[in-house]
Structure 1
Amino acid sequence: MEKRNAIAWFEIFCKDMDRMKSFYETAFGVELIPEADEEARMLIFPFDEKHGVGGCLSQMEGCQPGVGGTMVYLDADGDLDGTLERVWKEGGKVTRPRTPIPPHGYFAHFEDPEGNPVGIWSMS
């Protein structure tokens, strides 16, 4: 079995996307790639989609910069629903249910038993 990265995705939440775009592009010498859907505006950091861990600057309702303003997404490796079930059984709280992100799979958010927000992602 091919080993996968534990982290599948990260999001750095922003209020002023133009300011943050300039900051990260200048600080890291990269060009961020714009992407948007009905729920979020994103600027994607360049990455190898087949083997790499990706991430973006993100602007969406309910997600604020500052303390707790970065979301790490763990890879559910094709078992998003099973992972959510186990999160609930182990004392976690699902804060955003399975949500499609066509054509990039699905994501969900939960809080662990100590209140840490965590995202999970899966292609199916």
Structure 2
Amino acid sequence: MKEHNMVKTLINWFEIPVADLERAVRFYEATFAVSLRREAMHGMQMAVFPYVEPATGGALLAAPQARPGEQGILIYLDGGDDLAVPLARAVEAGGQVLLPKTEISPEIGYIAMFADSEGNRIGLHSPGAAIQG
């Protein structure tokens, strides 16, 4: 069996499907206290999350083929040091907590999950002590 090279990160880009781009932009800007950059390409409307290379980038996507829903792809976004902060912002912006801040292990850290303004399940992750150094 041939060994494969290890990748630095498995996720290169992510897209969160939305039905109402402006509503979703307001929700995510409020939840993460950031500004999203709007773009249009090939008939799709996007709002890109801020990131600096080599970090993974991603966007909200409003397009006919983009259908939000609670059983779609689950991604975990960086929730910072205290997941309670973005969870509270998500609720304030109209979301719903699906899984409160939960420790996986001291090495892995914490996760939480919320439903966004479009009905998508979104995970949050806060690294453990081994990752934080």
TM-score for both structures, normalised by structure 1 = 0.50
Structure 1 residue 3, shift from structure 2 partner = 4.7
Tell me the secondary structure at the aligned position of residue 7 of structure 1: coil
Structure 1 residue 5, shift from structure 2 partner = 1.4
Aligned partner (choices 5, 11, 15) of residue 7 of structure 1: 11
**C-alpha distance in structure 1 between counterparts of 2:72 and 2:16, whole Å:** 6
Alpha carbons of structure 1 residues 33 and 71: separation in structure 2 relative to 1, 3 Å = farther
Alpha carbons of structure 1 residues 71 and 63: separation in structure 2 relative to 1, 3 Å = farther
Q: Give me the CA root mean square deviation.
A: 2.2
Residue 16 of structure 1 aligns with an amino acid whose one-letter code is: D
**C-alpha distance in structure 2 between counterparts of 1:25 and 1:66, whole Å:** 20
**C-alpha distance in structure 2 between counterparts of 1:30 and 1:19, whole Å:** 15
Q: Where does structure 1 lack aligned partners over 5 or more consecutive residues?
A: 73-124
Structure-1 residue corresponding to 2:60: 57
Structure-2 residue corresponding to 1:33: 37
- Post-superposition Cα deviations, 1:37-91, rounded to whole Å, max 9, x if no partner, equal 123110000001x31101111011211011344487xxxxxxxxxxxxxxxxxxx
Q: Larger Cα Rg: Structure 1 or Structure 2?
A: 2
Alpha carbons of structure 1 residues 3 and 55: separation in structure 2 relative to 1, 3 Å = same
Residue 60 of structure 2 aligns with an amino acid whose one-letter code is: L
Tell me the secondary structure at the aligned position of residue 27 of structure 1: helix
Alpha carbons of structure 1 residues 44 and 70: separation in structure 2 relative to 1, 3 Å = farther
TM-score for both structures, normalised by structure 2 = 0.47
Structure-1 residue corresponding to 2:47: 43
Structure 1 residue ranges (4+ consecutive) displaced by more than 3 angstroms after TM superposition: 67-72
Tell me the secondary structure at the aligned position of residue 59 of structure 2: strand
Count the aligned residue pairs: 71
Structure-1 residue corresponding to 2:69: 66
Written as runs of structure 1 = structure 2, the 5 A alignment for 1:75-114 is: none
8 Å CA contact 1:21–1:43 kept in 2: the answer is yes
